Amino acid sequence: MSFWIEHDAEGRVFQLTEGVEAPQPFFGGTVVEIGHRVNTGTVLFLDGELVEFGPRPSDQHVKDAATRTWALVGTTALAQAQDEKWKEVKAERDRLETAGFPYLGKWIDSDARSVQRITGAVQSAQAAIAAGAPFAIGWTCSDNSVIDLDGEQMLGMTVALAAYANALHVTARGLRALIYAEDATEASVAAVAWPAEEGSS
């Protein structure tokens, strides 16, 4: 007595039969002989060999052909690669958002303390402009040089900061679309990278 399984190109096993001769394919797959009885729900036929996964941990687990182990739905090798790459992209976006931004030919600090200083200076500039009073401030840049700003230029700094931060988020959303594209593969996900020209001073 022999045991036969029918599998498809992706290794999924449809049925197990017993008999002396190989049965005809019933599901349009390929029939091969194996040495023992198996549970078709816990095996795959990959690279010419039967891979047994053992008991299914839960209804939320699926057979992952790449790792040849049970994986939670959404945590296949591709899904894990996508989630890790997205974390990497977000971390770079957040790093760049606090690493400074260009303004009037200079690089301006944008860490939390610097943003508070910008906000305070902008409020002072707005108050001066509203009162028709003069406003001037010397702003220390990332390279420790100082630029002299009037009220309108001070207001322009916060506009530049907002525009720069928005550009970073637009870039991140574009990269996320690539990461989670319908035709994404582990190779295409690994190739996703933040544009080198963004965030450079």
In angstroms, the first-to-last Cα distance of the chain is 74
Exposed, middle or buried, 25 (CB in 10 Å: 0-12/13-18/19+)?
middle
Give the predicted TM-score (pTM) of the model.
Answer: 0.61
Residues 38, 50 contacting (CB under 8 angstroms): yes
Residues 72, 66 contacting (CB under 8 angstroms): no
**186: which 2 tokens?**
């582990």
**Neighbouring C-alpha atoms within 13 Å toward the C-beta of 157:** 30
pLDDT, position 74: 66
Q: How far apart, in whole angstroms, are the C-alpha atoms of residue 138 and residue 111?
A: 19
With CA atoms as reference, report the closest residue to 164 among 125, 84, 107. Answer: 107
**26: which 2 tokens?**
């019933």
User: What is the chain's mean pLDDT, rounded?
Assistant: 92
Residues 101, 164 contacting (CB under 8 angstroms): yes
Residues lower than pLDDT 50 in the chain:
199-201
